[in-house]
Amino acid sequence: MRILALTGGVGGAKLALGLASIRSADEVAFLVNTGDDFEHYGLHVSPDVDTLLYTLAGLNNQELGWGREGESWNCLKTLDTLGGESWFQLGDRDLALHLVRTKLLKESMTLTEVIGHVATQLGIEHKIFPMSNEPISTRVNTVHGELEFQRYFVEQKCEPVVTGFRFDGIEKAQMVPDLTILSFDCVIICPSNPFVSVDPILAVPGMRDYLHSLHCPVVAVSPIIDGKAIKGPAAKMLSELNLPVTSYQIAKHYQGLVNGIIIDKLDSTNQADIKNLGLRVAVEQTIMRTLEDRKVLAQSAIDFAMSL
Amino acid sequence: MRILALTGGVGGAKLALGLASIRSADEVAFLVNTGDDFEHYGLHVSPDVDTLLYTLAGLNNQELGWGREGESWNCLKTLDTLGGESWFQLGDRDLALHLVRTKLLKESMTLTEVIGHVATQLGIEHKIFPMSNEPISTRVNTVHGELEFQRYFVEQKCEPVVTGFRFDGIEKAQMVPDLTILSFDCVIICPSNPFVSVDPILAVPGMRDYLHSLHCPVVAVSPIIDGKAIKGPAAKMLSELNLPVTSYQIAKHYQGLVNGIIIDKLDSTNQADIKNLGLRVAVEQTIMRTLEDRKVLAQSAIDFAMSL
């Protein structure tokens, strides 16, 4: 049974780790948002890919909730003293990954190949695909104008009120060839931000057609519980876009793509409303505090998908 | 009295610090070799400029004899685990300077402006000029073929036998305009490697004419003492090029440019031979262990120049 999991950063990577922990490299592959990628000091930074790499390698910083474990910040501190930009938290160890990626891309490796190379070095066996090898840049439209995603997310701490999104470069982007030759038995959309983590993946030309062509169950795990996001700005974005901050809205967002949605057991969304959209609903504990939580939700998502 | 000091890396920077310690920013300026500059992981690294910046800012690593004080190596160690190249010692703090330089150059600052910006941030008041704003790359011809300077110097630890040198890009390089409008009352060539630190500076089109046009005394401090270099591969290079490893040879190397040479008090070079080249000779302690040694030699070099 082959599973494709779509994921963004920290929230999605938790479920991804659950999947990787209960399914072998032959059984599950990951498709990751690269709309957050940006160039910083001439280096190619790939935040969601890195989060997944660190998480699957067991190198994620559990204290911070992002970045690499055992991190030091001597370069960043020195940047400050040199009048450099220090709004983006470049850890000393994390920097090594940016340096290697930048170098290999300059040497004409594709992003897919670079990720594969790094994954191998980190002992990760599961295949990780970027949504595209071409550069795509998520731009957040706000009442103060358009912002590059990391400027919105990190520098401005998601404060500007959001009015919409744009994926710069998406028209010229292509799906990763290595992915399109594969088929899967189910697709799981991890509990990532629908607007800035999953939508960029779905916006790659051909991606929705490819997912449909798999003729397999597609399930999403809602990142919203009763008006709140477990992590990140999903709830704030829904609210600013004048949309209901509910799992029903998440289901509606993915309508036409997914067959079912998993909502949290604490979520009071009216399941009948979701079913009226033509989707099935499963109720699980979607808050993942422990590795066991991640594995249990991963198994539930697989079971739910295969029941459809 | 205005002094221009030509310098390469560690050895030259010692005398540069002496000069900066006894003469104000109005009285001494530095002209630095950038033939060692290279691109590493997409970053513009400028080893001799950085050595001078760190030395003048009091941030040089006295324990290592190169690099920045209080350095950590977490990025470099991580590069190793990611299968990256780790032959060049990138310190975490040092990296910040490479990041800032690379960024500002991409934003169309000249190298002169970048150095000025960083110097200001580090509290350095003395003016530091690169030999050119254009990229020039010193190549070492060896019996095993041509090597980029840092590959020869760092990666191969100066082991390959040298047959000659080439300054790639020198034809298209120009002197720094901000320098050419200045005049000086004396020029001091610091005890840097004549082949790979000073010759690249002198090879910039117009540089020798500019120095002649100053119509002022030019003195060099010999980096050779009785068949040995105080630091670096100068002696090894002379020997491999079948040249005498003597201060006489250094004097001959600079003949036509300098009016006098300072040799070490322990050097047994026949001074009459140097005088026969038409140069004056001063004998001083050129080994600089303490800051006081640096200041004393700086004062001696100035006094010697002004006596010519």
- pLDDT tens digit sequence for B157-205: 999 999 999 999 999 999 999 999 999 999 999 999 999 999 999 999 9
Q: How far is B179 from chain A (nearest CA, A)?
A: 24
B95–A contact, CB cutoff 8 A: yes
B122: nearest CA in chain A? Answer: A82
Is residue A186 within 8 Å of A154, Cβ to Cβ? Answer: no
The CA distance from B54 to B9, in Å, is 11
- pLDDT tens digit sequence for A142-157: 999 999 999 999 999 9
For the record, the structure tokens of A27 come out as 């059984």
Range from A265-269, A295-299, B26-30 carrying the lowest mean pLDDT: A265-269
- pTM higher than the cut 0.90: yes
Range from A109-113, A160-164, B66-70, B229-233 carrying the lowest mean pLDDT: B229-233
Chain B residues within an 8 Å CB radius of A102: 41-42
State yes or no: pLDDT of A180 exceeds 90.
yes
B101–A contact, CB cutoff 8 A: no
The CA distance from A168 to A136, in Å, is 6
Side-chain-facing half-sphere of B7: CA atoms under 13 Å: 30
A122–B contact, CB cutoff 8 A: yes
Chain B residues within an 8 Å CB radius of A92: 72, 74-75, 78, 92, 95
User: Would you call A82 and B97 a contact, using CB atoms and an 8 Å cutoff?
Assistant: yes
Q: Which of B85, B102, B117 sits opposite A41 (nearest CB)?
A: B102
For the record, the structure tokens of A23 come out as 């399914």
How far apart, in Å, are the Cα atoms of B50 and each of B1, B44, B74, B167? 27, 11, 20, 20
User: What is the interface size between A and B, counted as CB pairs within 8 Å?
Assistant: 104
- pLDDT tens digit sequence for B4-16: 999 998 999 999 9
For the record, the structure tokens of B124 come out as 């350095």
The sheet with strand A162-168 has its strands ordered as A145-148, A137-142, A162-168
Chain B residues within an 8 Å CB radius of A99: 41-43, 75, 79, 84
Q: In chain A, positions 187-216, which contact chain B (CB-CB < 8 Å)?
A: none
pLDDT at A230: 82
What mean pLDDT comes out for the span B18-27?
Answer: 98
A73: nearest CA in chain B? Answer: B92
A57–B contact, CB cutoff 8 A: no
- pLDDT tens digit sequence for A96-116: 999 999 999 999 999 999 999
Q: In chain B, positions 231-270, which contact chain A (CB-CB < 8 Å)?
A: none
State yes or no: pLDDT of A307 exceeds 90.
yes
B83: nearest CA in chain A? Answer: A121
User: Would you call B79 and A100 a contact, using CB atoms and an 8 Å cutoff?
Assistant: yes
The CA distance from A229 to A235, in Å, is 5
H or E element that contains B31 = strand B28-32
Radius of gyration for the alpha carbons in chain A, expressed in angstroms and rounded: 18
Q: Which of B41, B84, B92 sits opposite A92 (nearest CB)?
A: B92
Q: Which of B82, B93, B121 sits opposite A96 (nearest CB)?
A: B82
The sign of the CA dihedral B64, B67, B72, B77 is negative
State yes or no: pLDDT of A13 exceeds 90.
yes
What mean pLDDT comes out for the span A230-248?
Answer: 94
Q: How far is A43 from chain B (nearest CA, A)?
A: 7
pLDDT at A163: 97
User: Would you call B102 and A42 a contact, using CB atoms and an 8 Å cutoff?
Assistant: yes
Chain A residues within an 8 Å CB radius of B97: 78, 82
- pLDDT tens digit sequence for A68-83: 999 999 999 999 999 9
How many residues comprise chain B? 308
DSSP 8-class letter at A61: -
Is residue A59 within 8 Å of A159, Cβ to Cβ? Answer: no
- pLDDT tens digit sequence for B57-96: 999 998 888 899 999 999 999 999 999 988 999 999 999 9
The CA distance from A36 to B277, in Å, is 66
pLDDT at A65: 85
Q: Which of B216, B220, B154 is nearest to B192 (CA)?
A: B220
Q: How far is B152 from chain A (nearest CA, A)?
A: 21
pLDDT at A41: 94
Q: Which of A57, A31, A52, A32 is nearest to A125 (CA)?
A: A57
Q: Which of A81, A82, A93 sits opposite B78 (nearest CB)?
A: A93
Q: Which of B72, B81, B99 sits opposite A41 (nearest CB)?
A: B99
Is residue A102 within 8 Å of A50, Cβ to Cβ? Answer: no
Partners of residue A263 on adjacent β-strands? A283
Is residue A286 within 8 Å of A297, Cβ to Cβ? Answer: yes
Chain B residues within an 8 Å CB radius of A97: 78, 82
pLDDT at B231: 84
Is residue B133 within 8 Å of B113, Cβ to Cβ? Answer: no
Is residue A95 within 8 Å of B95, Cβ to Cβ? Answer: yes
Is residue A90 within 8 Å of A134, Cβ to Cβ? Answer: no
B123–A contact, CB cutoff 8 A: no
pLDDT at B285: 97
